[in-house]
Chain A
Amino acid sequence: MKMPMNEFNEESLEFRDLGSRINDFLSSEETEMTAEEQSAGAPILQSLDESRYHFIDEEFLVAGGAKKIFKVYDSHAGRHVAIANPRKHESDPEKEEFLREALLTAKLQHPNILPVYEVGVNSEGVPYFVMRLLEGAELKNIIRERTAGAADDLSRYDLETLLEIFLKVCDAVIYAHSRGVLHLDLKPSNIMVGRYGLVTLFDWGLAKVVGDDRGVQLDQAAEAFDPDLLNNITYSGTMKGTPGYMAPEQVVDCGQVTARTDVYALGAVLYFILTGTIPVRGGQAEEVIENTLAGNVIRPRLRRPAHSIPRSLGAVAMKALQLEPNERYSSAQELHDDVTRHLRGFAPLAERANVIKRSQLFMKRHNNMVFAFMLFGALLTIVIAVSLARVSVQRKQAIAAKQEAVYNLALYKEETKVSGKLYNEVQSFFINSILRGDIWNYNLMRRMVNNELQKTDIEEQYKIQLYQMKAYLHFINEEFSSAIDAFDSAGFDPKNNLYKRTVEFAEMKPDDSHPLNAGQFAALLAMPYRNTTFRKNVLSRCYERHMARIGEIDAAAYLPIAIAMLNLTNDSLGWGDHVKLEQRNGGNHLDLKGAPYTTLRLSGSRWGKGASILFPLNLVSLDLSGSDIREFHGLKLPDRFKELILLDVEFFDAEPNTYWLSQIPMDRVVISEGAITKFHLNRLRAKVEVIEVPRGATYP
């Protein structure tokens, strides 16, 4: 089986013509599939008949992204099995997609791969497939408990047992690769460990049939897998695996997955067995992905210094987890063999062990009297060996020093190249945005400023600008003392308003290491400043960073901050001293009657974080009657939020207003009679209860 390897050049005329022909094709035919095509497009579905369904006593087990799994009783075979149904089964393509996974898994017949017993369609036309009932514990949970130190798990699953489990997973992957199938979602939670040495790899939902140009060694004697029948296409923009286990080439959109992509994931599983964590740092998916792409894998022994992880296994995992596919093991088999080498007491190839390590292992393997003699003989050579080794060590040191020098030079060159580029293209843009107070990426900008300031050959004027930026950045991070230093270095006039404010806050809180308290911070947000764009930009960033830093905050303490923030966004400095939170059943009520607020969103907020100004107030009810409110989008409120009161509010833009209102999860919205036209009212009512109150009446 050879897959097509068309060369596509996106700038070529051919590429354009191809697109144009495809468009002609798609528009000449109906975009909707004809009945004939639909049946031709779902060959698996067409081949199944519905007369054989013989499963009873459904009991829900688990639901994933694409399928639901039940425990059922097979009345023909007289045993309990698991049955999977697709979550979506409206159309034939959806059913077919489900069946492709079923058929692919069914064709993989290996003791460590979850067997599919039967594929079919029930009397309602819903396809299903039947599998062995999985019993035992996910490898993920076993390791979690082991790392947490549960005593019985420690005894039942020592490292050696876990490595044997790992080898069985490798076996399953080696087998799949021999059939041209990549798993592409290998992770501890897809590995089930049962009793009696049963290890099962499952969930082939992302698997892909590939040709032998992808590093798989096809078993020519075996039946070929048909990619047209079995491949589910992963469409652009959808997630393609699990961060932490996905190889770098799987994370990027145009990366080419190969057998070495699975090798990486196996390396990550081994790493998890050794350390109980994924190979890169990161609490959130994006951070994990960023570190994956940068190849920031932390050595297992560094990650868990207390765990006495064997050096050789650490080396194996690191080799499998190399950023460049070519530097990893070329196949799952090679990885398997290196782990086996360790288990049998040899040094894995990846470790590049020296003579001493090798002989240690040798002694371990042959721990008997013969070695007393060998040792005696060896003593004679030791004297020579030591002097030789000394020479060798000195030479090694010299080489290492040279290598480091070369590496440093390369680093330096790279650095010069990068900064040169920065100067040419981004520098002026960068300066301008900061001086406008437009901090689009705080950490990046801070790094850039510090990098630039470390240079010795910069112009005086540029240096002053850099210090000014540094001052702003410190200010935003509530580091007022450092900000003053930077203002001084930039030669700021002490009469400057921002400088004076900074001094005030530095007196209030001289220690840069912790943020202002809630009252002080609200005062900071209410700070007057002539340049409103600058003020808005900088204070919005202050708010974002402050909120990210302090974590949970008490609703009452947060109220002044929220009001100051709303005033900042709506240019209504000073409004709202009277606003109070009222306790209601399950949360708080906020009265913003007559507020001069047109929006409740944070202006200029890019990542949607600012959408939640009101969020920490823990509201169940909000009254905006008689306010100037104009827009409702991005209004994020707690799940328990119930009631939004909008008496005497005019809806100037009914279409978007009602749409966004309908997107707020709440029980009811209260409006003045006739404020929304019937047409939009009906649409809104489909989503949420609307109470119309006659003009002039009050609510409740």
Chain B
Amino acid sequence: MTLLQKMQKQYDEKAWQEFVDSYSGYIYTIINSMNIGSADADDLRQQIFIKLWKKIPDLDLNKISSFRSYLTVVVRNCVKDFWRKSQRDANRSDKLVQSDSELVDTVSLPDIDDVIEREWHNYIAALAFKNIAEYLSADATRLFNETLKGRDIKEVASEMGLPLSTAYRLKSRVKESLIAEVEALNDYLG
């Protein structure tokens, strides 16, 4: 069962809390990467959640391909509304601007869809690492962190005093678990 199915089945505070916990960081990151000030970002995030809260019970899960695609639409609309509003405020006296829709279209927006897609993968990857970290030893986490920085595994292994075979073993264990958890998270949240 995915989180969304769970949401629909038990439309209550707990499911909602899990939902907010799961997506809050992600939505925040998207908004953040669009150069929206932090006070506005909080408002916007709240708006997005209120919108989702209203819509989720009515969603026909058979009709949407993935929750992420749906989320993309909601986030995109909320962000566009926000931009439209803030530009209108800024340009209230500017007669050159004809209409709201023109405004949004003429401004060179960062491509929201791309941002949403890219940040999703980043978010899921980091979340996967967070989730599996508690199953791993300190050595395994440290070794993997060093590899992520682009360092050579042989060098790290000798620095940590690990036999090379152990280092390989730890690295592939982390990698294997990461791949599986990313897949599981995409199923569960995506």
Residues of A within 8 A of B (CB): 1-4, 6, 8-11, 15-16, 18-23, 25-26, 29, 31, 33, 36-38, 40-41, 43, 93, 208, 210, 226-228, 231, 233, 235-238, 252-254, 256, 286, 290, 293, 425-426, 429, 438, 440-441, 444, 606-607, 633-634
Taking a contact as CB atoms under 8 Å apart, the answer to whether A237 and B57 are in contact is no
Can you list 30 A-B pairs, Cβ within 8 angstroms, ordered by A? Answer: A4-B138, A4-B142, A9-B25, A10-B26, A10-B127, A15-B29, A19-B123, A19-B125, A22-B125, A22-B148, A22-B178, A23-B125, A26-B175, A26-B179, A37-B171, A38-B172, A40-B168, A40-B171, A43-B169, A93-B176, A228-B169, A228-B170, A233-B132, A233-B135, A233-B180, A235-B180, A237-B184, A425-B53, A440-B58, A444-B11
Residues of B within 8 A of A (CB): 1-3, 8-12, 14, 18, 21-22, 24-26, 28-29, 50, 53-54, 57-58, 62, 119, 121-142, 147-149, 165, 168-173, 175-185, 187-189
* Residues of A close to B122: CB separation below 8 A: 16, 19-20, 23
- In whole angstroms, what is the CA distance A293 to B133 when docked? 25
CB-based nearest A residue for B122: A19
* Residues of B close to A15: CB separation below 8 A: 25, 29, 123, 126
- In whole angstroms, what is the CA distance A8 to B130 when docked? 7
CB-based nearest B residue for A601: B62
Taking a contact as CB atoms under 8 Å apart, the answer to whether B184 and A235 are in contact is yes
Q: A12 CB to closest chain B CB, in angstroms?
A: 8
**Known interface pairs A33-B172, A40-B168; A227-B137 also in contact (CB < 8 Å):** yes
Taking a contact as CB atoms under 8 Å apart, the answer to whether B137 and A1 are in contact is yes
Taking a contact as CB atoms under 8 Å apart, the answer to whether A25 and B181 are in contact is no
Taking a contact as CB atoms under 8 Å apart, the answer to whether A11 and B25 are in contact is yes
Closest 9 CB pairs of A and B: A10-B25, A237-B188, A19-B126, A19-B122, A235-B184, A41-B172, A440-B57, A22-B125, A40-B168
- In whole angstroms, what is the CA distance A192 to B125 when docked? 42
Contact of A37 among B54, B168, B180 (CB under 8 A): B168
Taking a contact as CB atoms under 8 Å apart, the answer to whether A26 and B178 are in contact is yes
Taking a contact as CB atoms under 8 Å apart, the answer to whether A22 and B126 are in contact is yes
Q: B127 CB to closest chain A CB, in angstroms?
A: 7
Taking a contact as CB atoms under 8 Å apart, the answer to whether B50 and A425 are in contact is yes
Beyond the given A11-B25, A19-B127, A440-B57, could you list 13 further A-B residue pairs with CB under 8 A, ordered by the A residue number? A4-B134, A16-B122, A21-B149, A23-B121, A25-B175, A33-B176, A41-B172, A228-B170, A236-B184, A236-B185, A237-B184, A254-B21, A444-B11
Q: B82 CB to closest chain A CB, in angstroms?
A: 19
Taking a contact as CB atoms under 8 Å apart, the answer to whether A236 and B165 are in contact is no
- In whole angstroms, what is the CA distance A238 to B124 when docked? 17
CB-based nearest A residue for B141: A4
Q: B101 CB to closest chain A CB, in angstroms?
A: 27
Q: A381 CB to closest chain B CB, in angstroms?
A: 54
Taking a contact as CB atoms under 8 Å apart, the answer to whether A4 and B133 are in contact is yes
Q: B22 CB to closest chain A CB, in angstroms?
A: 8
Taking a contact as CB atoms under 8 Å apart, the answer to whether B184 and A607 are in contact is no
* Residues of A close to B14: CB separation below 8 A: 252, 290, 293
* Residues of B close to A235: CB separation below 8 A: 131, 180-181, 183-184
CB-based nearest A residue for B50: A425
* Residues of A close to B129: CB separation below 8 A: 18-19, 22
Most chain B CB atoms below 10 A, which of A29, A227, A252, A444: A227
* Residues of B close to A31: CB separation below 8 A: 179
**Known interface pairs A16-B122, A438-B58; A37-B172 also in contact (CB < 8 Å):** yes
* Residues of B close to A6: CB separation below 8 A: 130, 133, 141
- In whole angstroms, what is the CA distance A444 to B149 when docked? 51
Taking a contact as CB atoms under 8 Å apart, the answer to whether A10 and B24 are in contact is yes
**Known interface pairs A228-B173, A233-B177, A237-B1; A208-B58 also in contact (CB < 8 Å):** no
CB-based nearest B residue for A254: B21
Q: B84 CB to closest chain A CB, in angstroms?
A: 23
* Residues of B close to A8: CB separation below 8 A: 126, 130, 133
CB-based nearest B residue for A20: B122
- In whole angstroms, what is the CA distance A539 to B134 when docked? 49
**Known interface pairs A233-B180, A429-B54; A606-B8 also in contact (CB < 8 Å):** yes
Q: B170 CB to closest chain A CB, in angstroms?
A: 6
Taking a contact as CB atoms under 8 Å apart, the answer to whether B175 and A29 are in contact is yes
Taking a contact as CB atoms under 8 Å apart, the answer to whether B9 and A19 are in contact is no
**Known interface pairs A25-B148, A633-B62; A40-B125 also in contact (CB < 8 Å):** no
Taking a contact as CB atoms under 8 Å apart, the answer to whether A286 and B181 are in contact is no
Q: A209 CB to closest chain B CB, in angstroms?
A: 8
Taking a contact as CB atoms under 8 Å apart, the answer to whether A237 and B28 are in contact is no
CB-based nearest A residue for B124: A19
Q: B52 CB to closest chain A CB, in angstroms?
A: 12
Taking a contact as CB atoms under 8 Å apart, the answer to whether A607 and B135 are in contact is no
* Residues of A close to B11: CB separation below 8 A: 440-441, 444
- In whole angstroms, what is the CA distance A19 to B182 when docked? 11
Q: A169 CB to closest chain B CB, in angstroms?
A: 25
Contact of B123 among A16, A40, A441 (CB under 8 A): A16
Taking a contact as CB atoms under 8 Å apart, the answer to whether B18 and A252 are in contact is yes
**Known interface pairs A290-B10, A425-B50; A236-B188 also in contact (CB < 8 Å):** yes
Contact of A33 among B130, B175, B188 (CB under 8 A): B175
Q: A370 CB to closest chain B CB, in angstroms?
A: 57
* Residues of B close to A228: CB separation below 8 A: 136-137, 139-140, 169-170, 173
CB-based nearest B residue for A441: B11
* Residues of B close to A226: CB separation below 8 A: 137
- In whole angstroms, what is the CA distance A440 to B29 when docked? 31
**Known interface pairs A23-B121, A238-B184; A607-B173 also in contact (CB < 8 Å):** no
- In whole angstroms, what is the CA distance A619 to B127 when docked? 47
Taking a contact as CB atoms under 8 Å apart, the answer to whether B184 and A16 are in contact is no
Contact of A41 among B2, B21, B176 (CB under 8 A): B176
* Residues of B close to A607: CB separation below 8 A: 8-9
* Residues of B close to A208: CB separation below 8 A: 135
Q: A565 CB to closest chain B CB, in angstroms?
A: 18
CB-based nearest B residue for A440: B57
Contact of A606 among B57, B132, B171 (CB under 8 A): B57
Most chain A CB atoms below 10 A, which of B137, B141, B165, B178: B137
* Residues of A close to B28: CB separation below 8 A: 10-11
* Residues of A close to B133: CB separation below 8 A: 4, 6, 8
* Residues of B close to A633: CB separation below 8 A: 62
* Residues of A close to B141: CB separation below 8 A: 4, 6
- In whole angstroms, what is the CA distance A697 to B183 when docked? 50
- In whole angstroms, what is the CA distance A236 to B189 when docked? 9
Taking a contact as CB atoms under 8 Å apart, the answer to whether B121 and A19 are in contact is yes
